[in-house]
Amino acid sequence: MAGLVPPGASPDASKPAHSEADEKTDYMNLPCPIPYEELHREALSYSSLLTSFSIWPETFEGLRFDFTKALNQKFSLSHSVFMGPTEIPSQSAETIKIPTAHYEFGTNFIDPNLMLIGRVLTDGRLNARLKWDLTDNFTVKANAQLSNEPHMSHGMFNFDYKGKDFRSQFQMGNGALFGASYIQSITQHLSLGGEVFWAGQHRKSGIGYAARYETDKMVATGQVANTGIVALSYVQKVSDKVSLATDLMYNYMSRDVTASVGYDYTLRQCRLRGKIDSNGCTTSYLEERLNMGLNFILSAEIDHRKKDYKFGFGLTVG
């Protein structure tokens, strides 16, 4: 009889009630947010040194061939060939393209605490990127581009500090460019942040604010700056293989607005991504694994308003 519920008591009364403290946020054990510069990484085009997170595909036109050869566990060489048209600025609404082709040679050094990536192209451009974890919390990043064309060379240094529940970053680049950002976890799912920058060469400054809400199934992000940009994005994970996304870009100074919806579908042997925006531009990007270390790529973009149609295919080896 000891296991019976006493008369007048509901069956749920025997279960332990959740205390009010269990429902409260543990502010002493908040997660560390993602870097401020990666707020929209699931929706907008963002690539780290080696990985692309974005649902939006980065399309191309023409033929592309990429080959990577690992010399050892840390060092590898890459070769890339691209043949296709390049758009040039024009006063008319019609898109003007000229045929181009170039070869790119690259070196990659990947260590748990250090990444060095270099690229040199036949047109004379040289790109270099560095990521160095000095400690578990402090990271230095640098990227530079050297070009034969005037005013096209630039360099940038980033100093990132990762705290227990916050991240901060300081940036400095050529042209007297300085910037700083900070993002803080407020709850287990919500983080708030802000940024400031000063471009001394152009005598311009700016300040921005951002909010990000993230769960296991969705990510919602909002960002606004006094330069006139308002960026909103939302990504929903429908299943382990399917994700849907939408974003809104609005400039309240020029009154330009663009909205997009996209999808990301991952199969056993391929990944299909695509989007359509409010300007009538439709893109699709297919990556199919033909064999271990061999991927086939198809890229397509149709802009009915500008009557601009792009199609590309490529192979990635290694």
DSSP string computed for 5-47: PPTT--GGGGSPPPPHHHHS--TTSPPPPPPGGGTTTTTS--B
Written as six digits, the tokens of 264 are 């990301």
Kindly state the percentage of the chain with pLDDT values over 90: 67
* pLDDT exceeds 90 at position 18: no
Over range 28-35, report the average pLDDT: 92
Residue 91 has pLDDT above 80, yes or no: no
- 258-277 pLDDT tens trace: 999 999 999 989 999 999 99
Q: How far is CA 223 from CA 40, 52, 121, 130, 196, in A?
A: 9, 21, 35, 27, 13
Candidates 216, 247, 215; CA nearest to 234 is 247
Task: Provide the pLDDT for residue 2.
Answer: 44
Of 44 and 192, more confident:
192
Residue-level pLDDT at 6: 47
pLDDT above 50 for 128? yes
The Cα–Cα gap between 155 and 143 comes to: 6
Mind listing the pLDDT tens digit for each residue in 154-192? 999 999 999 999 999 999 999 889 999 999 999 999 999
pLDDT number for residue 55: 67
pLDDT at 96 over 90: no
Averaged pLDDT, 28-55: 74
Is it the case that residue 141 has pLDDT exceeding 90?
yes
Q: What pLDDT shows up at residue 51?
A: 44
**Cα–Cα–Cα angle for 168, 151, 149, rounded to 5 degrees:** 125
Query: How much is the pLDDT for 25?
Result: 75
Average pLDDT over residues 4-16: 47
Mean pLDDT of 64-82: 95
Q: Is the pLDDT of residue 79 over 90?
A: yes
Determine which of 60-64, 149-153, 179-183, 287-291 has the lowest per-residue pLDDT on average: 149-153
Q: Does the pLDDT value for residue 21 go beyond 70?
A: no
Residues 6+ apart with CB under 8 A from 156: 142, 143, 144, 171, 172, 173, 174, 177
Return mean pLDDT, the chain.
87
Of 18-27, 75-84, 193-202, the poorest mean pLDDT is in 18-27
Determine the pLDDT at residue 88.
80
In this predicted structure, the answer to whether residue 228 has a pLDDT above a threshold of 60 is: yes
